[in-house]
Amino acid sequence: MSISDTRTPVPPDAIAFIGGGNMARSLIAGLMAGGMPSVSIHVAEPVAASREALQRDFDVQAVADNAAAAAGAATWVLAAKPQVLRDVCEALAAQAQRQRPLLVSIAAGITTRQLDRWLGGDAAIVRAMPNMPALLGAGVSGLYANARVDAAGRAYAERLLASAGATVWLDDESRMDAVTAVSGSGPAYLFLLAEAMLDAACAQGLPADAARTLVLQTLLGAARMLTEDNATPEALRHRVTSPGGTTQAAIEALQAGGFDHLVAAAIEAATQRSRQLSLAND
């Protein structure tokens, strides 16, 4: 029996996720919250337990075979790991040439030029870099579209990624490596800061549960001020830093330790690693 004989009819707006990991799950949740019916969402996921979880949690069609999931879908979201994406795309190239879907890639470090070559050429590709808070609908994604993506394709890709948070379009794809370094990797920087603050709070004698509440709520409140207040980060910092006070002493200690330089070096290192991923998978 052929694949088409075993599938439910494909809706005209069907979207296929090639890979069903956490980021795919967050986008699926956002799409369904926005009104997309589960029958329009197909997922290819090689791990049986993950397929079962997708079917249980979202009532979507989850299969092991990439080609089966992509059959008939107008949009493919390439959500496989960067290290395996070339093999995935080359196996789907003939199908991509027949179907001509809009391709949305969320693989770090993989360029639209590489994807276009692996998929046989003349592909409409949007490269996206979402981040972990997308799991809560509070993420941000950098987007770049190649020349073959029309206005409707750009609008659809933006709606897709906006289901998980804010979006930022770039005209220069080379800047996507910096997006990966700033926002893609960025949550880990804040988590590291939280770890350090928790350790320091406990070292000063605070109970662990009290330290956790104080640190986490401080970071949450500061993030809200950054997003909800029109003031710049510098102005907010000055607002809380009284001359000769405790905050000034802390800021001076951070600056003396090269805090600004360390942050810049971290983002540079992540940017370079994103570029290396592209070269390694070329």
**Backbone conformation region of residue 184, classed left if phi is above 0, alpha if psi is from -120 to 50, else beta:** alpha
Q: Say what the pTM is.
A: 0.87
pLDDT tens digits, 154-185 = 999 999 999 989 999 999 999 999 999 999 99
Q: Which of 121, 146, 176 represents a domain boundary (last residue)? A: 176
Separation between Cα atoms, residue 159 and residue 102, nearest integer Å: 13
Note the pLDDT of residue 11. Answer: 47
pLDDT band at 13 (very low <50, low <70, confident <90, very high): confident
Task: Tell me: pLDDT of 86 over 70.
Answer: yes
Note the pLDDT of residue 9. Answer: 40
- Kindly report the CATH number assigned to the domain that includes residue 70: 3.40.50.720
> Is 202 found in the same domain as 78?
no
Provide mean pLDDT across the span 237-252. Answer: 97
Note the pLDDT of residue 10. Answer: 41
CB-based contact 88:66 (threshold 8 Å): yes
> Is 267 found in the same domain as 162?
no
Separation between Cα atoms, residue 53 and residue 247, nearest integer Å: 47
Separation between Cα atoms, residue 24 and residue 39, nearest integer Å: 16
181 located within any domain: no
Arithmetic mean of pLDDT over the chain: 93
Amino acid identity for residue 50 in this structure: S
Q: Which of 176, 207, 237 represents a domain boundary (last residue)? A: 176
> Is 154 found in the same domain as 57?
yes
Note the pLDDT of residue 194. Answer: 98
Task: Tell me: pLDDT of 151 over 90.
Answer: yes
**Nearest of 6, 8, 65 to residue 38 by alpha carbon:** 8
Strand-strand pairing, 61-63 and 124-129 = unpaired
> Is 69 found in the same domain as 43?
yes
> Is 81 found in the same domain as 19?
yes
Q: Which of 143, 176, 209 represents a domain boundary (last residue)? A: 176
> Is 271 found in the same domain as 192?
yes
> Is 190 found in the same domain as 138?
no
CB-based contact 128:105 (threshold 8 Å): yes
The pLDDT > 90 percentage for the chain reads 87
pLDDT band at 135 (very low <50, low <70, confident <90, very high): confident
Provide mean pLDDT across the span 257-266. Answer: 97
pLDDT band at 131 (very low <50, low <70, confident <90, very high): very high
> Is 203 found in the same domain as 170?
no
Note the pLDDT of residue 278. Answer: 78
CB-based contact 145:154 (threshold 8 Å): yes
Domain of 37 in residue numbering reads as 3-176
> Into how many domains does the chain fold?
2
> Is 139 found in the same domain as 19?
yes
